[in-house]
Amino acid sequence: MVERPLNRLVVIGLGLIGGSFAKGLRDKGLFREVVGVDLDAESRRLAVELGVVDRCETDLAAACRGADVIQLAVPILAMEKLLGELARLDLGEAVLTDVGSAKGNVVRAARESFGGVPARFVPGHPIAGSERSGVEAANGELFRRHKVILTPLEGNDPAALALIDRLWRALGADVEHMEVEHHDEVLAATSHLPHLLAFALVDSLAKRNENLEIFRYAAGGFRDFTRIAGSDPVMWHDIFLANRQAVLRTLDAFRDDLDALRDAVDAGDGHKLLGVFTRARFAREHFSKILARRAYVDAMHSNDLIYLANPGGSLSGRIRVPGDKSISHRSIMLGSLAEGTTQVEGFLEGEDALATLQAFRDMGVVIEGPHHGKVTIHGVGLHGLKPPPGPLYLGNSGTSMRLLSGLLAAQPFDTVLTGDASLSKRPMSRVAKPLREMGAVIETGPEGRPPLTIRGGQKLTGMHYDMPMASAQVKSCLLLAGLYAAGETSVTEPAPTRDHTERMLRGFGYPVSVEGSTARVESGHKLVATHIEVPADISSAAFFLVAASIAEGSELLLEHVGVNPTRTGVIDILKLMGADITLENEREVGGEPVADIRVRSAKLKGIDIPEDLVPLAIDEFPVLFVAAACAEGRTVLRGAEELRVKESDRIQVMADGLNALGVKAEPTADGIIIEGGPIGGGEVWSHGDHRIAMSFSVAALRATAPIRIHDCANVATSFPNFIGLANQAGIRVSVEGEN
C-alpha cells in the first residue's frame, strides 16, 4: 500500500486541524489530489480558494470512493454519527484515521458502527492547536515539531499504521504510539484538567459581585493561569463528555490534593505549603524534562546533541568547575535524614544530583533550591521518610540508585527504583546481594539490572562484608543500611575508595570508625543538621588538568577543588606522565581537603599506570586516555575492568573513538594500551556517557581537524555549562547548530 503512489486524500471536517493536515500534505504533493468534505458551504469555498484542498465534495460516498486515506477531523461528538455513515459505504482499501482529543470514545464508536474495529482504522491525536480556528487559520506547518500520538489497535493492519505514521512525519511531527486508555489518562491530566480549572476559575471570579475589581487588578498570575479559558467552549464541552471517566479520575485525585492544601492554609502549616510549592517548582523545571526524555524522545536520533570541537587553542585564566557530584548526592541524603535544617553551598545542579534531590522530595522531604548552588534541606530524621507516590526515577545516576538502595532497604515502605537506558544496563547485584544478606528483600530485573523493587518493613541485621571490588558506592550503600541494621555493620575494601560518606556521616555527628581498610557503623545514633560546603569536583577539573597539560602555552588555575586523597589519582598519574601541576592554598573545608590547582603545559610521556592508583582515578580515565594519546610513547592500563560497567563501557568506547581519530588504542580485558601519536579529526560517539563527550572535546586541542562528538546530552548529568566554561578557558567546543 505504501509503495504505490497515493491517489486521493479525503479530509472530512475543514477546521483548523483538518485544514492544516490537508494543506500540509497538499503542499508536499504526497497525493494526486486532496478532497475536502464539510457541511459548511463557506468553509468549502474558502478551502479551495486558500489552496487547502484541490476540490470539495458534498457527497460523502463520492468523496470516499477509491480514496487512499480518509482523515476524520470533525468535532469529537460528531464522530459517532460520521463513523455510522462511513460504515454504510464501500471504503475499498481506504485507511481511516482521526484527530480526536480523546480516543476511547472514538474507538468505541468505530467498534459499534463497523461491528468490530476496522483493520485499517488508525486512531490519532495531534497535540497542536492555536487560538485561531476555522479553515482560514489552516497552516501546513502547524504540526512541525509537535507531538502526534497514534493509538494503534490490536488487529490493525501494520501497513495502514505505517502509512499514517509516514504522513504525520512528512508534516514534521514527532509521532509516538500509545495505548488508547493510556492516551486518555495522560491527556485528562495534562490537558483536560488544566482547561477545566482555567474555565472554572474565571467563571468563579466573574460571578462575584466585586468582579470588576478582581479583573481590574488581575495581574500576570491570573492572566497566565487563565489564558486557556479563551479556548473554544463547544469543543471543550465535547472533550469532557467524550473523556468523562479519565477526567473524573484525575479530577478526584486533584480535589484531594486541593483539600489538603486548604487544610494546610487553615492550619497555618507553612511546612506543608513549602513542601508542595518547592516540589512543584522543581518538578516543572527539571523532572518533566528528565521524564520527557525517557518517555518521548528516541535517543538514537532526535536526541543526538552533537558537540563540534575545533582544533588548536591554549588555556589560560582561572575557573571554578561545578560542585562535586559524590558530595552533592550525599549532602541531600544525609541532610534529609538529619534532624534539623541543613544548608548546602556549592551544590552541583547537574541532573544526577538533582535526581537524588527529587527522590527525597518524592519521599516527603522539603528541600528549598537549588538556587546558585544553595540548597536548604528540612531534615525529617532517620525515620521520617514517607512512601513516594510512584517509582523513583533516577535518570543516569548509578550513585543515586546504589546508595539509595541501602537506605530504602530499611524503610517501612516499598520502593521501586528505575533509570534511563544506560542506568538500566548497570549491575545492581553488587548491592542487592550483600543487602539481602543483611535481611533486605530486593528484586532486580534480569541479570541483576534495574529496576530494583525494594520491599519495606524488613528488619536488617548488621554484618561484616568483604567487598569483592573496590567500590565506594557499594561501601556507602552498606554503611547507610547499617544506620538501621541491628548491631554493627562493617565493610572492608580491597583498595581505598572515596570516603565522602564516612567523612560526611561524621560531619552530621554520626560515629563512624575506620581502621585500615575497614569502615564500621552501628545503628542507634542520629544525624544532626549541619552546614556543608561542596568543593569543586576534581572529576570535572580533570578535563582541564589534561587540557592545559596537552595544549602548548597554557597556564590555568582551577579554584577550590576537592583534593580528598581518595580522589587525587588523576593528579598522581598526570605527574608520573610529566605534567606540571601544583597545589596551592591547601585547606580543609567542612571535613574535606580543598586546594587551588595550577597547571601548565608540559611534554607528557607514556607510562605503565600503577594499579593502586586505579580506584583513586576511576572516573578520570577517559580523559587520561586523551593525555596518553598526546604523550610520547606507550601508556598501559591494567586492573581497571570496572571501567567496563560505568555509564558506558569506557574502555571500548574510548578505544573506538581514539581509533576513529587515528590513534592506536588497543582495548584489553581489564584496561587499554595506547600509543601516543598525532590525533586526526573525525566523528566519535560518546554513547550517552558525559565523561566520554567531554574527553573528546579536550582531545581537539591537539587534533589536526575538527572532531564531531555525538550523543552529548548527558554532559548535563555532571557538568552543567561545560561548553561555557570550556570556551572561557580556551577549548574551542560548541554545540553544533548553535553559535
**Contacting positions for ligand S3P (CB under 6 A):** 326, 399, 471-473, 476, 498, 618-619, 642
**Which pairing describes strands 634-637 and 513-515: parallel, antiparallel, or unpaired?**
unpaired
Of 68, 619, 689, 711, the catalytic one is 619
Assess whether 619 carries a catalytic annotation. Answer: yes
Radius of gyration of the chain (CA): 30
Least Å from the CB of residue 697 to ligand S3P: 19
Sign of the torsion formed by the C-alpha atoms of 504, 506, 512 and 515: positive
CB atoms within 10 A of CB 157: 17
> C-beta of 610: minimal distance to ligand S3P in Å?
18
Closest C-alpha to 637, from 629, 564, 498, 426: 629
Instruction: Please state the three-class secondary structure of 513-571 as a single string.
Output: EEECCEEEEECCCCCECCEEECCECHHHHHHHHHHHHHCCCCEEEEEEEECCCCCCHHH
Shorter beta-carbon distance to ligand S3P: residue 75 or 671: 671
Q: Which is nearer to ligand S3P, 396 or 418 (CB)?
A: 396
CB within 8 Å of 710: residues ≥ 6 apart = 304, 306, 683, 684, 685, 686
Among residues 378 and 690, whose Cβ is nearest to ligand S3P? 690
- Write out the DSSP string of 645-713: GSSS-HHHHHHHHHHHTT-EEEEETTEEEEE---B--EEEE-TT-HHHHHHHHHHGGGBSS-EEEE--G
Q: How far is the CB of 161 from ligand S3P (least distance, A)?
A: 42
Under a CB-based contact definition with an 8 Å cutoff, are residues 698 and 570 in contact? no
Find the shortest distance in angstroms from Cβ 124 to ligand S3P. Answer: 43
> Could you tell me if 558 and 315 are in contact, meaning their C-beta atoms sit under 8 angstroms apart?
no
The nearest distance, CB 644 to ligand S3P, in angstroms, is 12
Residue 341 forms beta bridges with which residues?
A: 378
Which of 165/620 has CB closer to ligand S3P? 620
The b/e string for 519-528 (b: 16+ C-beta within 10 A; e otherwise) is bbbbbeeebe
Return the H-helix or E-strand segment holding 588. Answer: strand 580-589
Residue count of the chain: 739
In the complex with ligand S3P, which residue's Cβ is closer, 329 or 710? Answer: 329
For every residue of 324-385, DSSP letters joined together read PHHHHHHHHHHHHHSEEEEEEES---SHHHHHHHHHHHHTT-EEEEEETTEEEEEEE-TT--
Least separation in angstroms between residue 615's CB and ligand S3P is: 7
Task: Quote the least distance from Cβ 175 to ligand S3P, whole Å.
Answer: 36
Nearer to ligand S3P, 356 or 554 (CB): 356
- C-alpha distance from residue 566 to each of 320, 325, 460, 625 (Å): 21, 14, 29, 20
Got the DSSP string for 20-63? HHHHHHHHHT-EEEEEEE-S-HHHHHHHHHTTS-SEEES-HHHH
CB of 497 to ligand S3P, least distance (A): 6
Do the Cβ atoms of 239 and 76 come closer than 8 Å? yes
Least distance in angstroms from the C-beta of 544 to ligand S3P: 18
Measure the CA–CA gap between 484 and 480, rounded to whole angstroms.
8
**What DSSP character marks residue 449?**
P
Q: Which of 13, 107, 104, 101 lies closest to 53, judged by CA?
A: 13
Closest CB to ligand S3P among 601 and 686?
Answer: 686
Least distance (Å) between residue 515 CB and ligand S3P: 21
DSSP state of 605: B
Q: Of 83 and 616, which CB lies nearer to ligand S3P in the complex structure? A: 616
Report which residue type is found at 317.
Answer: G
Which one, 401 or 723, has the nearer CB to ligand S3P?
401
Report the run of H or E that residue 416 belongs to, with start and end: strand 415-418
Cell of 72: 476524520
Query: Toward ligand S3P, which CB reaches closer, 619 or 711?
Result: 619
- Dihedral sign computed on CA atoms, order 12, 14, 17, 20: positive
- List residues with catalytic annotation: 619
